[in-house]
Structure 1
């Protein structure tokens, strides 16, 4: 692999896998809250005599407004279910990914350079030229081709 300071550092698939698990859990929490909201609006539906509406928009009855809320919440639940199912499939496949040994080593080297604040030269080097270029720099010479 060619070291290049402009080359992005690849993310570790294991880190992405853990982030995806957290994302899945966030969706689960959203679905839980959505279920609680739906239940509470369903409770309101059982007491229509206790509901009223304002007169700021198009005319609507309290029962129709509450039914519209319940319908929209159900649609949101269905969409969140589909999103969560898709993330679950992605998570399953993500568990199979890893970097090659060479890519993992390259990533580790990039992270080490980043931590030390080192920068590679602006010109591309081939792997076999890397050590020679470093040696030349340490001797104060610039290598030419």
Structure 2
């Protein structure tokens, strides 16, 4: 351990830049940075979403923040809402739509940052254990 017998003096002028740096060094608020919904291949080169198929909804956050994921159904009403407490920077949920139509998935953090993804769900068929959304 290093000890010094030399007295150290700090003047107000010497401490002012350090105090200013401390004010500006406060951590930024965390925010939702990305919202994705996985897709499965359909016939042809397109991708789509189908009834009964299960998808990964991935929410990414750049720091500790409470995130709410809300799924709005074809009629616009919220169908489900899930909260995620701070901790992980990546949050993965399973989502299985039960009806056709346009859905809006909304991820919003406790600081007001809001991301949305619109997903059109159509009929699907199962081939073994694989769920295949039908082409439009």
TM norm structure 2? 0.20
Of structures 1 and 2, the larger Rg is shown by 1
- Greater percentage in strand: 2
- Greater percentage in helix: 1
